[in-house]
Structure 1
């Protein structure tokens, strides 16, 4: 049966982008509101949570192996008007990421202490980091489920539903943080443990609601019957798309763990400053992230319909818009950095460091924007392996290696780290832009 939830390829990219943008912004708040509210309690608590979140990001990226593949595969199926495998794809995606999430939580619980030693976490951050990781790590499967449902909704053009749920999750998390940090309603003041509990509970409620919305809004259903016998072909397609596509993100976040280790060698003040800066720079590429995801859906539908020229033009147009917005936002953040950083800390050393780093970050964000738009365009068109290979080589030989050389050997500190990451983003951006212009991605459709 033809789904009533297919995306109109003529739908404007703005109509797809703004709900994704708001959802990403709210997810950013959910991920970082813990650190913002803890900044009123202790800078060390913020630094501890920042380290844990960096580790969590690597594991969350493993979920994107499936969610990204789901978005691309379903978009191409809808563009090609082939609806027979949709329910099966949904079912395999949900069950696979559920297992990934459970395994990831067990790994964090068992090996958390070893991970902290590996990244050279300062000893004065260890207690808070352990408390946060054990609780939030145990709820990682909830994040895996939510991200998978969100990918399904997006593939069907239903952006607003996940946006509304993200609003609710964010509000619940803030309320929970306020209660558990301050000890309202007769509860004890729980600090880091409190914000961890609040995050898990709010995500649990989010999963319940999005599961209900799926049953109500999506024509195709999830059923265990699609798993017996196990649908090997669908699983292979998801992994053949997801592993290379997710490989680039996994490599990036793994290299960021190495860079975090280098930053941890620079002292607690720099670690704390880097945590605050990391939260702020996410705002710089939020729009580029949203519009590149929206464009990926459009390109997937166009490729499925064999309209490659339209797909080419869509990526170029999106790139121009996103670079302009990124330049304005990152430039504004630099100009008003004292006020923005002042939300988190009054430490003059961190404020001075932050302003200098945020100037370098303007150039980093422009390169990152080119990467996000072109890579997602290539992924949607079926050109999966090339960005992974280039990404892995550049991230490790430029970003990670030169972060150590600049920061430690040449004693440039956090400035050297940011300079190395900037060189990596700009180099990859140039390579991917040239590849898109040359059209090497054409005729690589998956379905």
Structure 2
């Protein structure tokens, strides 16, 4: 009976109902991130440089923590689709347990290691001090961020994407208020600068973790027991890690390849670096919408596959992908039409503007490929077909995106546009490969749980 209700819930919940809160949440995250940078810039350019410098380390820390929610989401959606409610609740408990262990361990390692690494950097002493302060506070208390991510993943797996959106919006709003208190000295409070911003960040993450935990406890379907918190169930740890580790590996590979591509771009001068930064910032809004649709598609597919409805998943994922690509191309068109106005919002430099305008037509192909990948790849993983998209992604990131960036931009002399063409080739190649993988139905014979 429980299984029938869950299957009915999956069938009756349209994708847009799951996706739209994710879209709003991701766009709000981008907006809040921009406000963060704006507020810091009013305090000190060196503070902005310090936080920007430390971002590469905090990102890597979050990737390590993301192993848990990635594995938990796919496991949960499959168990829920199969009607195995008790197993789903156990996975939720284990995911929380694991992220606390991982968060405390890696957080403390990063908190003490990063300041030592920063001593090797040839940077201004004040920038080093700001960066060390932020890194220590953020890393030491990163466990709160991990808990928030896991609890949000649990809510989304049950279809409660709106709840996760509201709570994360509240947490981000608290962060902005905290930043203002730390930077502007409101109500006679001392101006704490970067230290205050770091404290504000971890405090808002703590608040988000508490609110999300309370919300889960109030919902009958997602509520789970946290009795015997020190009891480790090895089979459940293995279940989460066998899915989470490969998916994190793909993310690490992609970001490392982006670092190498950035090195290639730096050879073309400051204007090219700025152009790439502004272009990716503009396109990120399209990308976030596609990712939101991909996450919603993964939740639906996990439920379908867990319930044994692979044929339903097979048909629906094509509909999800076509819808997602149509949305991405629509917004790419809007950006292209208003390209002059959007670029002017960031810069009035003629050289930078010219570089961005020269590559705008290529972005249609780039975003088309991205929209396919961020929708079909999560669906393949939700079905249990994890290693193929991960392996294909690592191969394509390095042998197409990175290698062709060097070939097109440097050897062929195409410059900046060569890099964007190479990135588009990578996304389109993987997108076509993933479509054929989905059409092959090989994933139907694999199991996530």
Which TM-score band (shorter chain)? 0.7 to 0.9
SS at match of 1:441: helix
Instruction: Mark the CA change 1:210 to 1:441 in structure 2 (over 3 Å): closer, same or farther.
Output: same
CA distance in 2, matches of 1:404, 1:185: 54
CA distance in 1, matches of 2:378, 2:186: 45
Shift of 1:137: 3.0
CA distance in 1, matches of 2:281, 2:434: 27
Instruction: Mark the CA change 1:193 to 1:26 in structure 2 (over 3 Å): closer, same or farther.
Output: same
The alignment status of 1:322 with 2:292, answered yes or no, reads no
Instruction: Mark the CA change 1:399 to 1:98 in structure 2 (over 3 Å): closer, same or farther.
Output: farther
CA distance in 2, matches of 1:5, 1:199: 40
SS at match of 1:152: helix
The alignment status of 1:371 with 2:384, answered yes or no, reads no
Asked whether the 8 Å contact 2:3–2:81 carries over to 1, the reply is no
SS at match of 2:86: coil
Tell me the alpha carbon deviations over residues 163-221 of structure 1, each in whole angstroms, 9 at most, x when there is no partner. Answer: 11122122222223333333433345555544433322222211121122122225542
Shift of 1:16: 0.8
The alignment status of 1:429 with 2:439, answered yes or no, reads no
Asked whether the 8 Å contact 2:380–2:386 carries over to 1, the reply is yes
Find the counterpart in structure 2 of residue 286 from structure 1: 288
Instruction: Mark the CA change 1:90 to 1:347 in structure 2 (over 3 Å): closer, same or farther.
Output: same
CA distance in 2, matches of 1:271, 1:256: 13
Of 297-306 and 54-63, the range deviating more from structure 2: 54-63
Tell me the alpha carbon deviations over residues 230-275 of structure 1, each in whole angstroms, 9 at most, x when there is no partner. Answer: 2111111111122223322232123233334545666666555544
The alignment status of 1:148 with 2:150, answered yes or no, reads yes
Report how many residues are paired: 445
Find the counterpart in structure 2 of residue 9 from structure 1: 10
The alignment status of 1:223 with 2:226, answered yes or no, reads yes
CA distance in 2, matches of 1:194, 1:269: 33
| Match 1:77 to one of 76, 79, 87 | 79
CA distance in 2, matches of 1:167, 1:181: 21
Shift of 1:284: 1.0
Asked whether the 8 Å contact 1:136–1:200 carries over to 2, the reply is yes
Shift of 1:333: 2.4
Instruction: Mark the CA change 1:363 to 1:54 in structure 2 (over 3 Å): closer, same or farther.
Output: farther
Tell me the alpha carbon deviations over residues 31-87 of structure 1, each in whole angstroms, 9 at most, x when there is no partner. Answer: 443224345566675555444334433332222222122111111111111123223
CA distance in 2, matches of 1:178, 1:138: 22
Instruction: Mark the CA change 1:88 to 1:323 in structure 2 (over 3 Å): closer, same or farther.
Output: same
CA distance in 1, matches of 2:342, 2:137: 30
Asked whether the 8 Å contact 1:315–1:377 carries over to 2, the reply is yes
- The alignment's C-alpha RMSD in Å is 3.2
Asked whether the 8 Å contact 2:254–2:397 carries over to 1, the reply is yes
Find the counterpart in structure 1 of residue 441 from structure 2: 439
Shift of 1:352: 4.1
Asked whether the 8 Å contact 2:144–2:205 carries over to 1, the reply is yes
| Match 1:398 to one of 388, 397, 400 | 400
SS at match of 1:9: helix
CA distance in 2, matches of 1:266, 1:188: 44
Of 262-271 and 376-385, the range deviating more from structure 2: 262-271
CA distance in 2, matches of 1:159, 1:429: 26
SS at match of 1:225: coil
Find the counterpart in structure 2 of residue 385 from structure 1: 387
Q: TM-score, normalised by structure 2?
A: 0.87
Find the counterpart in structure 1 of residue 254 from structure 2: 252
Asked whether the 8 Å contact 1:75–1:300 carries over to 2, the reply is yes
Asked whether the 8 Å contact 2:383–2:446 carries over to 1, the reply is yes
CA distance in 2, matches of 1:64, 1:433: 26
